[in-house]
Structure 1
Amino acid sequence: MGTSLSSIQDIFKEPSLKKVASIIKDPPQPGHALFIRYRLQAVQQQSEEDHLKECTTMNSKLNFIVLTLVLFYVSSIKAASVLRSGMDLRCQCIKPTSNFIHPKFMKNIEIIPSGPHCEKVEIIATLQDTKVCLDPESRWVQKIINKILSGSQTDTVQ
């Protein structure tokens, strides 16, 4: 009452498989050559399916490896371009000076606007052999910047 019934296919399949196995084992049986050929075709078809599965698995692994390498390559290029851009992602002037430096000692003045790298405007003066951060709030620095922006002192300070 509580057991499940076998399907009709299963009922006929098991005795049929036993009969086929006995025919394959006994070469004088009339259907021996037919079942051997059928068995070889089934084995060949199974091996082709297995080969196809292996190829598909290998292709998937290869695709994954290639995709991973491409991602590493792209990320390394991106990282290298950020490093080569010359833009530090932090403030360059830790403690700017407000001490007066005569403009004739300055070879160059670089103005770095505020942005995501630093919330303050940075002014870097290049002297003979060093760089000095100038305090943008100092009155003398503001005068020099205004003269540079107005273009009246382009020969003295570049």
Structure 2
Amino acid sequence: MKARLQITAPITTFFLLQHLFVSEVETAALPLRCQCFHFVDRLHPKIIKSFQILPKSTHCSRTEIILTIHQDNKEVCLQPEEEQGKKLQNCWESIRHDPNRMSQCTQGKPKKGRKQSKKRGRKGRNTQSKHRQP
């Protein structure tokens, strides 16, 4: 009977350790609380390297937008209710959560053409009114 206990003890220990290891790996992927506590209202789009949108879950009652910026790969949380947060969420939905197209959401809108400012006078022409006659 002692031999049976000695054999089952290492097997039981193995299964317990395996269960704990698998549990740790599974919980490491899922956050058990909100990731963001300090928020910014907006950031310049050129400094945003990538982003991650975490929807509401049982562990966090709000949508979280985590931005990775170019400076030392720091992570910053964006306020999801502000204008930039809403635009980023809408863009993410429109590209259907495709990480390959993520840069479309972080770049500003492409400029089609440069607007020319109104000129007050015309080059190469007389600026006097046509109605005046000498």
**Normalising by the residue count of structure 2, what TM-score does the alignment of the two structures yield?**
0.60
- Structure with max Cα Rg: 1
The two structures, once aligned, show a CA RMSD in angstroms of 2.6
**Does 2:101 align with 1:157?**
no
Residues 50 and 102 in structure 2, CA contact (< 8 A), matched pair in contact too: no
What is the number of residues matched between the two proteins?
Answer: 100
Aligned to 1:111: 53
2:25 aligned residue (71, 76, 81): 81
Residues 111 and 122 in structure 1, CA contact (< 8 A), matched pair in contact too: yes
**Normalising by the residue count of structure 1, what TM-score does the alignment of the two structures yield?**
0.52
More relative contact order, 1 or 2 (CA 8 Å, 6+ apart): 2
* Deviation of 1:84 (Å): 4.6
* Unmatched 5+ stretches in structure 1: 1-56
Pick closer, same or farther for the CA change 1:156–1:97 going to 2, 3 Å.
closer
Name segments (4+ residues, structure 1) moved above 6 Å.
Answer: none
Offset from partner CA, 1:76-113 (integer Å, 9 cap, x none): 3223313553x331111012222x21222211111011
Indicate the percent of aligned positions where both proteins have the same amino acid: 28
* Deviation of 1:121 (Å): 0.9
More helix by share: 1
More strand by share: 2
Pick closer, same or farther for the CA change 1:147–1:81 going to 2, 3 Å.
closer
